[in-house]
């Protein structure tokens, strides 16, 4: 057989192989018949189904309970806070002062605690004055004067504030008051003029619980809260 005949047989052979492969591919992948559902290949979140509408493939008589549409379902009515509770006090304050936020207040109380503790230890009445109500300022000032007269120095190291939580909130007239319980770890040491320790232990960390009450008049424009009462438990 000449070369032309061999080339012709090669062409027929490769054509048969190609035809066989096409048939195998069709049997594996299938052929589009026009009945496929193209939505199967679309994102399931692209278009949510209409609530209550039958889904494709559901029988007409199927017992289907549609879920409520979140956009149209009525919101559950929240129960009013229990009278005398912290929530009731917070709601009462917020009703006359829309800017009041309990979580934000706790953050501000932490900052005020650090400032007041530091200023008291440093005998800094200038920074204490705008943070304290008159009776508390007089009490703090008297303690500072006694310390200075005795030539004592107080060193307070605030290791950390473990918690600062509102435990009471009230609105009396237009005067709001909020009580916060602080749980802190501190090192407090008082030394005399010669540096000898007269109170406290520089090597001991104390766990101290302070209960402070802050107040402000919602009538005024001054947004600052003043410390009106303190109590400590070691």
Reported as a single tens digit per residue, the pLDDT across 129-152 is: 999 999 999 999 999 999 999 999
Reported as a single tens digit per residue, the pLDDT across 80-127 is: 888 889 999 999 999 999 999 999 999 999 999 999 999 999 999 999
Q: Is the pLDDT of residue 232 over 50?
A: yes
In-domain check, residue 202: yes
CA atoms within 13 A on the CB side of 90: 19
Give the chain's mean pLDDT: 78
The two structure tokens encoding residue 64: 């289907």
CA geometry: angle 10, 13, 16, nearest 5 deg: 150
**How far apart (Å, rounded) are the C-alpha atoms in residues 98 and 51?**
38
Model confidence pTM above 0.85:
no
**How far apart (Å, rounded) are the C-alpha atoms in residues 40 and 68?**
24
| pLDDT score recorded for residue 16 | 53
Domain count, the chain: 1
- Checking DSSP bridges between strand 197-200 and strand 226-233, what pairing results, if any? unpaired
Helix axes 134-149, 102-121, angle to 10 degrees: 30
Could you say which DSSP state residue 73 is in? S
| pLDDT score recorded for residue 1 | 54
CATH of the domain at 208: 3.10.450.240
| pLDDT score recorded for residue 46 | 36
In-domain check, residue 71: no
Q: Tell me if residue 138 falls in helix, strand or coil.
A: helix
The two structure tokens encoding residue 45: 């979140």
| Residue-number span of the structural domain to which 149 is assigned | 86-233
Find out whether 176 and 97 touch, Cβ atoms under 8 Å. yes
In-domain check, residue 69: no
């Amino acid at each position: 057989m000449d070369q032309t005949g061999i080339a012709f047989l090669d062409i027929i052979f490769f054509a048969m192989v190609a035809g066989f492969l096409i048939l195998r591919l069709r049997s594996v992948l299938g052929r589009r018949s026009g009945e496929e559902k193209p939505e199967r290949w679309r994102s399931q979140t692209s278009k949510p189904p209409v609530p209550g509408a039958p889904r494709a493939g559901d029988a007409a008589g199927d017992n289907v309970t549609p879920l409520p549409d979140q956009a149209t379902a009525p919101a559950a009515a929240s129960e009013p806070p229990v009278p005398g509770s912290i929530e009731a006090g917070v709601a009462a304050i917020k009703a006359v002062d829309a800017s009041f936020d309990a979580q934000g207040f706790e953050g501000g109380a932490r900052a005020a605690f650090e400032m007041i503790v530091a200023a008291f230890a440093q005998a800094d009445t200038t920074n204490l004055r705008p943070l304290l109500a008159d009776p508390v300022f007089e009490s703090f000032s008297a303690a500072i004067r006694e310390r200075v007269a005795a030539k004592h120095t107080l060193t307070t190291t605030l290791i950390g504030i473990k918690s600062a939580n509102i435990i009471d909130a009230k609105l009396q007239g237009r005067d709001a008051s909020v009580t916060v319980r602080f749980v802190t770890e501190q090192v407090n040491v008082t030394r005399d003029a010669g540096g000898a320790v007269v109170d406290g232990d520089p090597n001991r960390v104390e766990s101290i619980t302070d209960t402070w009450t802050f107040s402000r008049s919602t009538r005024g424009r001054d947004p600052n809260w003043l410390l009106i009462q303190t109590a400590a438990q070691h």
